[in-house]
A = this chain, B = another copy of it.
Amino acid sequence: ATGVDKGVDFAQYFCTYAFLYHQKEMLSDRVRMDAYFNAIFQNKHHFQGKAVLDVGTGSGILAIWSAQAGARKVYAVEATKMSEHARALVKANNMEDVVEVIEGSMEEVTLPEKVDVIISEWMGYFLLRESMFDSVICARDRWLKPTGSMYPSHARMWMAPIRSGLADQKISDYEEAMDDWYHFTNETKTYYGVDMSVLAKPFSEEQKKYYLQTSLWNNLHPQQVIGTAAVVKEIDCLTATVSDILKLGSNFSSSITSENTRLCGFGGWFDVQFKGRSEDPAQQEIELTTAPSINNGTHWGQQVFLMHPPIRVSEGDDLNVSFLMNRSEENHRLMEVELGCEIKQNTGKLLPAFKKKFFIE
């Protein structure tokens, strides 16, 4: 992205990926691992004898699998020092003749040839957090052959109305912080002769942003989803451009499917598909979903946007929701979301619409 300070980006974003601990967390996500493993090994025809590019190879896992599936050559690009561990892992698994680990940022690396497949695990929370898909687009436009395939090939973002005890907890956290503030300003006035009350408003805004406007990572139970889920964005990885994902906007409707419950906000998640390319499709289509699940949760969990206060709803109530997502101005890898909601009760009564802003930190 334009105007990004590389040093700052490294300090804020890449640094965590340089820890094996963090790579291990991703490598321990069985749902994630199974999806990529199956996508590769059940579609070996896409890899056999082919040139593959792994964007952000991390530990090197996807590059090694690609080699094991028969790739002629795999370019494994990684921006952090994790590249050194990837190189060791490639060697220990006897793939150093096939996998070439290249340390560098994808945007700046030069390859000796174009590739047949670009594979990458670029998905952040609620799909687009981290904005790493930008780097995949850049790689695709420069290095994918006109006949090449993307792994994954498609991605979708979902939203659904939810109930959650977190709504009450966050409100009470916020209220506690404000009680504490009033105690604090009293003490400061009494003991130290300085009146801090002028800062009550900016302090409450800071705390509101932190407790009430920051979306949360959460592992939702499927029963916390109280209405129909809707797709808010579809991405064809072969054709999507950065401007397609810079700003998202979507209006969707959802019907409440639970009886007599509370609408506490919305949950967001994503799925990606490995379908190959329409002229050269996958033999086995594989899907990786991060939807609420009892046994197949992922490290991505779901992104939760809480409305305050919760609203009583019941089966058959209809929601009309507007969703807007932009990148944060201070950090292009973080997002800002605006959610608007209108409720038409099953009695026909229309409740007053409301709108709220959130930060994906």
Binding site for B on A (CB under 8 A): 5, 7-8, 10-12, 19-21, 24, 27-28, 30, 33, 37, 59, 61, 64-65, 68, 85, 88-89, 91-93, 181, 184, 187-188, 191-199, 202-203, 206-207, 210
Q: How many copies does the complex hold?
A: 2
- Tell whether, in the assembled complex, residue A68 and residue B193 are in contact, meaning their CB atoms are under 8 Å apart: yes
Chain B residues, CB < 8 A from A64: 194
> Would you list 7 pairs from A and B whose C-beta atoms are within 8 A, ordered by A residue?
A20-B199, A20-B202, A24-B181, A65-B194, A88-B198, A89-B199, A93-B195
Chain B neighbourhood of A191, CB < 8 A = 30, 33, 37
In Å, the complex CA distance between A151 and B187 comes to: 24
Contacts of A27 in B (CB 8 A): 184, 188, 196
CB of A85 within 8 A of CB of B199, answer yes
Judge whether B199 and A28 touch: CB under 8 Å.
no
| Inter-chain contact A37/B203, CB cutoff 8 Å | no
Since A28-B184, A91-B198, A92-B198 are in contact, a sample of 8 more A-B pairs with Cβ atoms closer than 8 Å, ordered by chain A residue number, is: A5-B5, A8-B10, A19-B206, A24-B184, A30-B191, A68-B193, A89-B196, A92-B195
* A154 to B64 alpha-carbon distance, docked (Å): 59
**A192 proximity list for chain B (CB < 8 A):** 33, 37, 61, 65
Complex: A220 Cα to B52 Cα, angstroms: 55
Chain B contacts for A202, CB-based, 8 A: 20, 85, 88
Complex CA gap A145/B196 in Å reads: 32
Q: Which residues of chain B are within 8 angstroms of A30 by Cβ–Cβ distance? A: 191
Task: Please pick, from B11, B28, B68, B187, the residue contacting A12 in the complex, using a CB distance under 8 A.
Answer: B11
- Nearest CB in chain B: distance from A170 CB, A: 15
In contact, A203 and B93 (Cβ under 8 angstroms): no
| A207-B88 contact in complex given A5-B7, A8-B11, A27-B188, C-beta closer than 8 Å | no
CB distance from A334 to the nearest CB of B (A): 12
Return chain B residues, CB-CB under 8 Å to A193.
Answer: 65, 68
* A199 x B59 contact (CB < 8 A): yes
Which residues of B sit under 8 angstroms from A28, Cβ to Cβ?
Answer: 184, 187
* A198 CB contacts on chain B under 8 angstroms: 88-89, 91-92
Chain B residue nearest to A19 in the complex (CB): B206
Minimum CB distance partner of A61 in chain B: B194
Contacts of A195 in B (CB 8 A): 92-93
B203 touches A20 (CB 8 A): yes
Assembly CA distance A210 to B193 (angstroms): 43
Q: How far is the CB of A5 from chain B (nearest CB, A)?
A: 4
Point out the residues of chain B lying under 8 angstroms from A8, CB to CB: 5, 7-8, 10-11
A32 CB to closest chain B CB (Å) equals 11
Nearest-neighbour CB distance to chain B for A332, whole angstroms, equals 13
Min CB–CB distance A201 → chain B (angstroms): 10
Report the minimum CB–CB distance from A64 to chain B (whole Å). Answer: 6
Q: Chain B's nearest CB lies how many Å from the CB of A7?
A: 4
- B89–A20 touching, CB < 8 Å: no
Given contacts A7-B5, A12-B11, A206-B19, contact A89 B24 (CB under 8 A): no
